[in-house]
Amino acid sequence: MCSCDDYQDLSNQLAVVTGGRSGIGKGVVEQLLIAGANVISADISIEQEYHLVHTHLIETRLDLSQSADVERWLSVVFDKAGVPDIVVNCAGTSTMDYVIDSKLSDWEEVFSINTTGLYLTSKHFAKAMVDAQKPGRIIQIASQAGKNGYRAMGAYCASKHAVLGLTKVMAVELAKDGILVNAVCPGIVETPMKHRERIEGGAIRGMTAEEIYEEDCSQVPLGRTAEVEDVAGVVVFLASKLAAYMTGQAINVTGGMTMH
């Protein structure tokens, strides 16, 4: 009988993670490496096109907001590494404003990364898996904002609702090919983006970042906000054999803040 550790062993698996330099993406990269995977981490902050960090980690430059750069990056990944077994779309951004005060440019920026960029990577990696007859996993980092509405976050909420819709459609379409497509919906996670949101959201609402933090914690039944490891562990689970009968799901990692 295989142990649970055997089922979570990702040795000889190739994983691609967008937004892998910070926040949830960084945590996902670290946990995938611990599970034994070979990881390609892509991020806009990486200067080199394709850089070997160590035996199991490669860093690549990617600007998800530019479709031409996504195409360039995909060619590099396919040419140098082949078709991945696991794709984790972590890259994301947000803007803060009430909808009636918001700017179209902010809306377009959020959607270019959170939705269009994710769509392009998901589409092309899925097609490569199908063409290679290679079963795989596509894991989207969505948000509880894909299930709820939050003040001053219209573009972000709308973009994450779109991610969940795409996840469900791709899960249905790719099931016959053995490609499982799921989403993880984090709650309030302590990342650089969340820290910025507290400052900007506090300014809009007449509150300090500390007051926003206290409000955040008060809304979570478990009494604390999440660390990136809380989310990354669920990603590794979805990438493993333990989740072999799951597809089209949007799994909450919210400390009980969202329960649907």
Residue 243 burial by CB count (10 A; 0-12/13-18/19+): exposed, middle or buried? buried
Distance, in Å, from the CA atom of 19 to the CA atom of 21, rounded to the nearest integer, reads 6
CA distances from 108 to 42, 53, 103, 136 (A): 21, 33, 9, 30
Distance, in Å, from the CA atom of 91 to the CA atom of 65, rounded to the nearest integer, reads 10
Among 50, 119, 156, 245, which one carries the catalytic annotation? 156
**At a CB cut-off of 8 Å and minimum separation 6, what does 216 contact?**
188, 198, 225
Distance, in Å, from the CA atom of 63 to the CA atom of 53, rounded to the nearest integer, reads 20
Distance, in Å, from the CA atom of 134 to the CA atom of 255, rounded to the nearest integer, reads 35
156 is catalytic: yes
Extract the runs of DSSP E, i.e. beta strands, from the chain.
14-18, 38-43, 51-54, 57-61, 86-89, 136-141, 179-186, 250-253
Distance, in Å, from the CA atom of 69 to the CA atom of 62, rounded to the nearest integer, reads 7
Distance, in Å, from the CA atom of 29 to the CA atom of 88, rounded to the nearest integer, reads 9
Helix axes 104-111, 154-174, angle to 10 degrees: 30
Tell me which residues are annotated as active site: 156
